[in-house]
């Protein structure tokens, strides 16, 4: 999950940390080597996810806020009716593990 400067400011403030502390504790260099990304646990899950609950929901990064409606990934049926229906179901179950194909 790529972070913007605004995401870093919001998360640091929400967690009561300096931006530097947030970066040290909860970010890694993104694969593009040009941005920071939220760290993941060994199982690939976001460091801020506890069960099905986001610990930083009120300050979640733009990429989280925009999912799935504004995501556009090559090969992903983001504009199809089927995807819209699956997205609605995903939101209704609280972001659980709906089959988004």
Tens digits of residue pLDDT in 49-101:
888 889 999 999 988 887 666 655 555 555 555 555 565 665 555 554 444 44
Q: At 20, list the tokens.
A: 């530097």
Of residues 4, 75, 9, 60, the one with CA closest to residue 95: 60
Tens digits of residue pLDDT in 40-49:
898 888 899 8
What per-residue confidence (pLDDT) applies to 101? 40
Please check whether residues 52 and 91 belong to one and the same domain.
no
The pTM of this model reads: 0.65
> What residue spans of 30-80 are helical by DSSP H?
62-66
Can you tell me whether residue 14 is helix, strand or coil?
Answer: helix
Instruction: Please state the domain count of the chain.
Output: 2
Please check whether residues 57 and 87 belong to one and the same domain.
no
Domain hosting 90: range is 67-101
Please check whether residues 8 and 56 belong to one and the same domain.
yes
């Amino acid at each position: 999950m790529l972070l913007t400067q605004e995401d870093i400011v919001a998360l640091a403030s929400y967690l009561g940390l300096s931006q530097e502390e947030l970066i040290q504790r909860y970010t890694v260099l993104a694969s593009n080597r040009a941005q920071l990304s939220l760290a993941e646990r060994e199982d690939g899950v976001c460091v801020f996810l506890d069960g099905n609950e986001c610990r930083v929901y009120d300050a979640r990064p733009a990429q989280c806020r925009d999912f799935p409606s504004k995501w556009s990934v090559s090969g992903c049926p983001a504009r199809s009716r089927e995807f819209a229906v699956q997205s609605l179901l995903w939101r209704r179950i609280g972001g659980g593990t709906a089959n988004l194909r």
